[in-house]
Structure 1
Amino acid sequence: MSVLYLVRHGQASFGTDDYDRLSDLGKEQSRITGSFLASQGIEPDRLVHGEMLRQRQTAEDLLEGMGRSIEAHVDAGWNEYAAWELTGVLSDLDPRAQHDSKVFQGELERGAARWASGEHDEDYTETFTQFTTRVDRALEDAVAAMGSGQSTIVVSSAGAIAWTAARLIGGGFDQWMAFNRVTINTGITKIITGRSGTSLISFNDHGHQDPKDATYR
């Protein structure tokens, strides 16, 4: 069997002028995650991340924590959906959402339900169906690139990882949202693939992080 480890990026910079970069804590979370993976004897044959800065930075710090240097492959299929676009089209968006992460989460879920309904596709640069289709394709490509017994680390974001997990257990929007809501920064999701297919083994494992440093943005 081959193993795929999906790692959510470290804490980004919510509430600042540029969310798409790691905070100091996010960088440390990423290094700790790399050190943990190395301590488990995990030596990836391949590293993949999306195009987003926070994903690339996480991959770099993760490798630093592992004490390894391997070429990273970029796959835009692992990019996150445009969260601010989902909330931005809400005519009655709570203004506190820009700086209050709890308020933002509620507004995001309301926006996501509107997005996934398929009734307002013209309002979005990427529809929900297009998002799930590209994430499905990214998973298939990551699996296809592995030889027997190999392992790959993919650094992505909550939405893409949550959709992958939901898909593998036969879930849809509701399961995706439930997973998306609880995905922790640098949480590790483990997937195995072999003759019997591709299966979800664990989701959002974050025991390697100090509980006081657990973050969701």
Structure 2
Amino acid sequence: MSTHRTDPGATTLSRPGEAAYLVFSDVDETLIRCKSLLEFLDHYFAERHGRQGRRHAAAVRARLASATAAGAGREEANALYYRAWRGELLTEVQQAGRRWYAGRRSAAGFFVEATHAALRRHRAEGAELVLVSGSFAAVLEPLAEECGAAQLLCTRPAVADGVLTGELVGEPVIGEGKRRAVRALLADRPHIDPADCHAYGDHVSDLPMLLEVGHPTVVGNSPDLLERLPHARRTAAV
């Protein structure tokens, strides 16, 4: 599949006609039930490197847990996660991402069905769907294709000579990074009023994105989100 880069955090998956409005959706625990980054970490390193890979993935998880316990934010943890991929071939990671998705997708209960159904309704109304995530394209592109998303706003690992460097291009698409990515895309759609747009998120780190649109929806029961968005729509994460 050919993709077109519009800015450091965006991947255009298709070129839709003029959309009625935009719909922004977080991915992990908003559209799908799992934490894709962690599941793919385990899958890839076990598949690619066997026992050594499993130890590596376990050590990465331990470092992430330790950093979080010490007060690291999701943005810092996200950057720490991508350092674990230093030295891996991009093509191998991309191919493994599609294998992981195919296997994971076949399991029952993969989607948060309320969100999945809502996104289908929006697309039927002529909306342009945008997935917004701290995950990366190797994991997200198969999901975006299935859901009919026109854009991915996601974290971009840096690549040199086809190899992941462990660094990032730009900032993680988390928290304020989501706000800036959403604003940049809306600026590229001057015919669309943000007040007409929708967004879905499950965690307080999604709040900056949710505040950029006229119709935010809280997925699940995050007390932080519900306190800050008392008038937002709510949908269960079941």
- TM-score normalised according to structure 2 size: 0.31
> Which structure would you say has the larger RCO, counting Cα contacts within 8 Å and 6 or more residues apart?
1
